[in-house]
A and B are shown apart, each in its own frame.
Chain A
Amino acid sequence: ETGVTQTPRHLVMGMTNKKSLKCEQHLGHNAMYWYKQSAKKPLELMFVYNFKEQTENNSVPSRFSPECPNSSHLFLHLHTLQPEDSALYLCASSHHGGTSYEQYFGPGTRLTVT
């Protein structure tokens, strides 16, 4: 595997379900991110982890719970979601503290909440 991978690619869940999204980066980066992308809206930053520590929570509802066990893996635990949470969820990684700050994105998980 290369780059940033995400699983599953598609997820349909009911409002009472609990599910998790997984992200893995193979780039040797030390920062990881979760973004939400809804139609006709800019990418919304949800969470930032630097060296496994959460450094930003962008006022995200508690029904979204991130977990970063190491600098290569990132999870987003989902529970009691609402239909408006349906969106493309993107994971990204970057090198924090260096001279290049570009973020590399995974393919995303298309989430539909019914």
Chain B
Amino acid sequence: EDQVTQSPEALRLQEGESSSLNCSYTVSGLRGLFWYRQDPGKGPEFLFTLYSAGEEKEKERLKATLTKKESFLHITAPKPEDSATYLCAVQATETSGSRLTFGEGTQLTVNP
């Protein structure tokens, strides 16, 4: 069974204080690992897809990296508007269709 564990559950940062969120996963064969951002009361917003170990993707202050067992979402010099819950999900190669398995998320708060 595919599993995704995210840590920490919650993270408080001061504006400009860089940090990383972790996503550990267990899957028989990885088709893709996905990062989403979710604001309160809204649907998840797609950020990145990573397909193979060693791959990195960047968007503004966010950088996602992937190894064979985990992914990190690095946040450089965060701003208050980066406050949100960040979700990680995996898709297995043997999945029929496009089933995603999600973690519980990391709630990020960036204080001014």
Using a CB–CB distance below 8 Å, which chain A residues touch chain B?
4, 6, 31, 33, 40-43, 45, 48, 50, 55-56, 88, 90, 92, 94, 96, 100-108, 110
Contact = CB atoms under 8 A, between A and B. Distances in A.
Top 5 nearest A-B pairs (CB, nearest first) are A105-B43, A43-B102, A42-B102, A105-B44, A107-B43
B2 to A, nearest CB: 11
Given A43-B100, A45-B99, A96-B98, 13 more contacts: A31-B97, A31-B98, A33-B98, A42-B4, A42-B103, A42-B105, A48-B97, A92-B43, A102-B46, A102-B49, A105-B36, A107-B42, A108-B41
Contacts of A41: 104
Given A42-B104, A107-B43, A108-B43, A55 B96 contact: yes
Given A96-B97, A108-B41, A101 B102 contact: no
Given A42-B103, A104-B46, A56 B41 contact: no
Interface of B: 4, 31-32, 34, 36, 41-46, 49, 87, 89, 91, 96-105
Contacts of B102: 42-43
B1 to A, nearest CB: 13
Contacts, number: 64
A96 B95 CA distance: 11
B104 A101 contact: no
B34 A102 contact: yes
Contact of A90 (B43, B46, B96, B99): B43
Contacts of B89: 43
A103 B43 contact: no
B46 A103 contact: yes
Nearest to A33: B98
Nearest to B47: A102
A92 B105 CA distance: 18
A100 B99 CA distance: 13
A101 B43 contact: no
Contacts of A106: 43
A112 to B, nearest CB: 13
B69 to A, nearest CB: 19
